[in-house]
């Protein structure tokens, strides 16, 4: 209940945030535009009236000045009446008329901008509202049927780029117009000071940034939505031609015919965990081969440990996805749906500082999330239907046994592959390549199976789709998880007995060795790359680095403080009369003593800092950090994490591993701290001489990473491989 409540609260907060960005922000812009409209109308009317009145007054005053230049005229303004000579009045009225005409011109320029603010905000509002409505309707329709899911998604996929572009364009126009309106309005201010000029510059810069952000956002929107195109899936395996496994193809053809499903165009066998089918393009390594059409992927280790009925149920399940609406679903929806999620994720990463893109990104993610529940719902039903279809080729009990057995095979496969990945590099000939499939079978034959009960809540692995938990799939088959089912699913392989896979392939053992060679070759390449990266990291921190406390700024500060104390004391002593102290010798002596004490203390502290500047603050060696504040070094491999702070005071904070020894700090290190309960070391300082905080953080990071890299390299040299038969963890896979 608590988790459900928290989930609902989180969903509510997210909905409020979305509404604020997509709806309330445009409404706020509209309100700003309405306010600007009123201001623009008032200033325009005032400017027109002032211009007309001043023009009339100027004509009258000019007539008077022409007949009597020395005539004194009295003008009634907002304050006291003003009397001016006629010629002087002409000059001042002309200046006022020029200013009024300038205000009139500014008012006429900024009046259209209010419609840009309102129009852009309205466009953004309707774009956001349309997006929310389209997402809501599409999400509701998507729950009606798989066909409606595909149709609704395709419609939304076509509309979404235009909706997001509308939001970006509208929001950009509104922000730019509002910023320019306020920038132009500053020309109407009577006291255009330096501060006003700064505000003007800020408004113009904001408008320029908004315009540039809009341009880059729309360009990014265009480029990112090109990522709609599905990318090929990547898998490791070998294509199995019919000549290599005639019985496998005959078996698959028989299963497809019995359930009226389409036969796969390509069958692939690999060491990956999990059976799957796909109609997307599939890129296979190590051959770098692009496979198109309907593909069926079979994991070799599973084939070796399942019987005929279980394999029939599993392949029947997968082939069921090649029938009915599943074919359209897998071709037209799944890869494009995943591609659109990738596009929106890329769009979100590209947002950066382009604030005008943020509402569109929020709206895009919301639209996709409306489909998530429908996608999960139909994926769940598809899997249940495929399970029932597969069980018809054997029995429901065989299908249930296959579900449990594939779940307990997965840890064994992962265990063997992980050991092979860290295996030796001294394989000399093709005959020496191990058979990882046979090793998996031998492992479970010798050590037994893991407990299947915790695995029943797991989901079967799949590269593009999600599955319901295994226990729900077994329940949907109408099979009870009892002793008989568990005994069947956990049966031990018979030593020396042929598996069903031996009957399906012309050279099953040879194929398994070839797949094992592919895996080990790739593992060797990855280890070599990893070793190169680690050696490069180690080389970047192979010498020790000495860093010093940055005391120079504080020394100068203390000297200046001492001078201030001294100056104040001398002023009090020699100018006591002017300061009102008269001849109060006690007050003079007290102030002199206090200022002298302050000056001497400041100078002594400056001298202390000057002497301490010669001592290293820290020494960073490849193995450890030596700090003058600590009684012993801190090994880099004892440090779980670190952070450098430079806000109120400079500090290096180290989080130690649980088993690491905690040093003590010297009593004089008043700005350093040891938290033994949390295992945190905080080393305070005035700064690092010659380094900024970011540079020092990067330096500490290089030594920290290099120590762990050196440790990993040393472990690889000491333990290049492990004996599977003697490993203490066997049976815990």
pLDDT higher than threshold 90 for residue 146: no
Q: Does the pLDDT of residue 352 top 60, yes or no?
A: no
pLDDT at 217: 59
Task: Specify the higher pLDDT residue, 49 or 619.
Answer: 619
* pLDDT classification of 190: cutoffs 50, 70, 90: very low
If you average pLDDT over residues 130-148, what whole number do you get? 81
Q: Tell me how crowded residue 678 is: count the other CB atoms within 10 A of its CB.
A: 9
The confidence score (pLDDT) of residue 380 equals 79
pLDDT at position 638 is: 92
Write the CB contacts of 663 (distance below 8 Å, at least 6 apart in sequence).
630, 631, 632, 633, 634, 674, 681
Q: Nearest to residue 541, comparing CAs of 656, 373, 428, 698?
A: 698
User: What pLDDT score does 153 carry?
Assistant: 77
- Does residue 474 or residue 201 have the better pLDDT? 474
Determine the average pLDDT of the residues in 528-544: 90
pLDDT digits 0-9 by tens, 489-513 = 999 988 778 899 999 999 999 999 9
What does the mean pLDDT of the chain come to? 78
- pLDDT higher for 671 or 473? 473
| The pLDDT of residue 690 | 82
Beta bridge partners of 578: none
> Comparing 50 with 406, which gets the higher pLDDT?
406
Which pLDDT score is estimated for 513? Answer: 93
Stretch among 270-284, 526-540, 601-615 having the lowest mean pLDDT: 601-615
Question: Which residues, including other chains, have CB under 8 Å from residue 271's CB and lie 6 or more apart?
Answer: 236, 237, 299, 300, 301, 413, 417, 436, 437, 515, 516, 518, 519
Tallying the residues shown for the chain, one arrives at 733
CA atoms within 13 A on the CB side of 339: 20
Query: How would residue 11 be classed by pLDDT, with cut points 50, 70 and 90?
Result: low
pLDDT digits (tens, 9 = 90+) for 543-561: 899 988 877 777 788 888 8
Q: Which whole number is the average pLDDT over 69-95?
A: 71
pLDDT score, position 591 = 73
State the average pLDDT over residues 404-418: 91
Q: Which residues pair with 236 in a beta bridge?
A: 285
Which helix (DSSP H) or strand (DSSP E) does residue 568 occupy? helix 552-574
Of all residues in the chain, what percent carry a pLDDT higher than 70?
76
Q: Is 567 within 8 Å of 575 (Cβ atoms)?
A: no
**Lowest model confidence (mean pLDDT) among 9-13, 21-25, 657-661:** 9-13
pLDDT reported for residue 5: 55
pLDDT at 305 over 90: yes
Provide the percentage of residues in the chain whose pLDDT is more than 90: 22
| Cα 408 to the center of its chain, rounded Å | 34
- 195 pLDDT band, cuts 50/70/90, is very low
User: Each residue of 103-133: pLDDT tens digit?
Assistant: 677 677 777 888 888 998 899 899 889 888 8
- pLDDT beyond 80 at 167: yes
Helices (H), 430-499: 436-447, 470-476, 483-489
* Confidence band of 191 (pLDDT split at 50, 70, 90): very low
- Evaluate if pTM is beyond 0.85: no
pLDDT of residue 346: 61
Q: What count of other Cβ atoms lies within 10 Å of the Cβ of residue 654?
A: 22
Residue 213, preceding peptide bond in cis (omega within 30° of 0): no
Question: What would the two tokens of residue 488 be?
Answer: 């069947």
Longest CA–CA separation in the chain, Å? 131
pLDDT one-digit tens code per residue, 368-385: 777 777 777 777 787 888
| 466 pLDDT more than 90 | no
Tell me how far apart the alpha carbons of residues 446 and 86 are, in angstroms, rounded to a whole number. Answer: 118
C-alpha 464/C-alpha 274 separation (Å) is 12
pLDDT tens digits along 700-729: 999 999 999 999 888 877 555 443 333 333
pLDDT above 70 for 257: yes
Between residues 616 and 647, the one the model is more confident about: 616
DSSP character string of 622-670: SSEEEETTBSS-EEGGGEEEEEEEESSSEEEEEEEPTTSPPP-B-TT-T
**Which residue, among 81, 102, 91, has the nearest Cα to 61 in the 3D structure?**
91
pLDDT for the residue numbered 704: 93
Q: Is pLDDT above 80 for 275? A: yes
* pLDDT of res. 205: 64
pLDDT at residue 604, as a whole number? 83
Task: Write the pLDDT tens digit of every residue in 587-641.
Answer: 667 777 888 888 888 888 778 777 777 688 889 999 999 988 888 899 999 999 9
SS3 labels along 359-424: HHHHHHHHHHHHHHHHHHHHHHHHHHHHHHHHHCCCCHHHHHHHHHHHHHHHHHHHHHHHHHHCCC
When pLDDT is cut at 50, 70 and 90, the band that residue 460 belongs to is: low
In the three-class reduction of DSSP (H, G, I as helix; E, B as strand; rest coil), residue 329 is classed as helix
Q: Which residue has better confidence, 309 or 138?
A: 309
Quick check: 226 pLDDT over 60? no
pLDDT of residue 164: 81
Confidence band (pLDDT; 50, 70, 90) for 325?
Answer: low
CB atoms within 10 A of CB 546: 11
Higher pLDDT, 341 or 348: 341
């Amino acid at each position: 209940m608590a988790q459900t409540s928290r989930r609902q609260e989180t969903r509510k907060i997210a909905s409020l945030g979305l509404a604020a960005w997509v709806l309330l922000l445009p409404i706020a812009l509209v309100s700003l535009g309405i306010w600007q409209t009123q201001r623009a109308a008032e200033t325009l009317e005032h400017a027109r009236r002032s211009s007309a009145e001043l023009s009339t007054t100027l004509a009258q005053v000019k007539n008077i000045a022409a007949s009597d230049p020395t005539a004194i005229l009295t003008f009634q303004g907002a304050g006291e009446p003003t009397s001016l000579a006629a010629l002087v009045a002409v000059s001042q009225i002309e200046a006022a008329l020029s200013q009024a005409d300038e205000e009139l011109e500014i008012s006429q320029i900024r009046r259209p901008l209010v419609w840009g603010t309102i129009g852009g905000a309205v466009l953004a509002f309707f774009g956001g509202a349309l997006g929310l409505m389209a997402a809501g309707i599409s999400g509701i329709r998507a729950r009606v049927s798989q066909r409606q899911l595909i149709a609704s998604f395709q419609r939304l996929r076509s509309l979404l780029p235009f909706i997001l572009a509308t939001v970006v364009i509208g929001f950009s126009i509104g922000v730019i117009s509002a910023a320019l309106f306020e920038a132009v309005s500053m020309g109407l201010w009577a006291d255009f000071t330096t501060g006003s000029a700064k505000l003007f510059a800020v408004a113009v810069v904001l408008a320029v940034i908004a315009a540039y952000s809009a341009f880059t956002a729309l360009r990014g929107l265009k480029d990112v939505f090109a990522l709609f195109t599905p990318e090929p899936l990547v898998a490791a395996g070998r294509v199995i031609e019919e000549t290599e496994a005639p019985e496998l193809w005959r078996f698959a053809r028989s299963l497809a015919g019995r359930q009226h499903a389409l036969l796969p165009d390509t069958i692939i066998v690999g060491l990956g965990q999990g059976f799957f089918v796909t109609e997307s393009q599939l890129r296979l390594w190590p051959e770098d081969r692009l496979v198109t059409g309907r593909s069926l992927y079979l994991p070799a280790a599973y084939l070796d440990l399942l019987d005929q009925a279980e394999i029939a149920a599993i392949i029947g399940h997968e082939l069921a996805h090649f029938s009915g609406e599943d074919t359209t679903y897998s071709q037209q929806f799944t890869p494009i749906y995943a591609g659109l999620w990738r596009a929106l994720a890329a769009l979100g990463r590209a947002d950066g500082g382009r604030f005008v893109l943020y509402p569109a990104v929020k709206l895009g993610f919301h639209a996709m999330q409306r489909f998530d529940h429908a996608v999960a719902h139909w994926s769940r039903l598809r899997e249940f239907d495929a399970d029932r279809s597969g069980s018809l080729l054997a029995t429901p009990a065989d299908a249930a046994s296959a579900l449990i057995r594939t779940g307990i095979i997965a840890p064994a496969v992962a265990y063997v592959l992980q050991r092979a990945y860290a295996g030796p590099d001294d394989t000399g000939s093709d005959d020496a390549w191990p058979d990882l499939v046979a090793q998996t079978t031998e492992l479970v034959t010798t050590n037994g199976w893991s407990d299947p009960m915790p695995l029943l809540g797991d989901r079967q692995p799949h590269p593009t789709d999600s599955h319901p938990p295994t226990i729900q799939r077994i329940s949907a088959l109408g099979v009870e998880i009892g002793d008989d089912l568990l005994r069947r699913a956990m049966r031990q392989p018979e030593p020396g007995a042929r598996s069903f896979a031996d009957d399906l392939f012309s050279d099953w053992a040879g194929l398994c060795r070839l797949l094992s060679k592919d895996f080990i070759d790739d593992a060797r390449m990855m280890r070599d790359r990893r070793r190169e990266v680690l050696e490069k990291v180690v080389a970047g921190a192979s010498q020790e680095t000495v860093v010093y406390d940055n005391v120079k700024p504080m020394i100068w500060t203390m000297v200046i403080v001492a001078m201030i104390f001294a100056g104040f004391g001398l002023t009090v002593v020699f100018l006591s009369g002017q300061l009102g102290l008269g001849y109060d010798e006690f007050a003079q002596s007290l102030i002199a003593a206090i200022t002298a004490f302050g000056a001497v203390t400041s100078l002594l502290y400056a001298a202390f800092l000057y002497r301490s500047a010669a001592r290293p603050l820290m020494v960073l060696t490849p193995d450890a950090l030596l700090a003058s504040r600590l009684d012993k070094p801190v090994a880099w491999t004892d440090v779980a994490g670190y952070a450098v702070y430079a806000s109120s005071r400079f500090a290096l904070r180290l989080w130690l591993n649980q088993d690491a020894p905690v040093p003590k700090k010297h009593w004089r290190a008043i700005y350093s701290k040891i938290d033994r309960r949390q295992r945190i070391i905080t080393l305070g300082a005035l700064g690092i001489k010659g380094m900024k905080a970011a540079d020092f953080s990067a330096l500490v990071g290089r030594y920290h990473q290099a120590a762990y890299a050196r440790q990993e390299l040393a472990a690889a040299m000491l333990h290049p491989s492990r004996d599977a038969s003697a490993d203490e963890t066997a049976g815990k896979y």
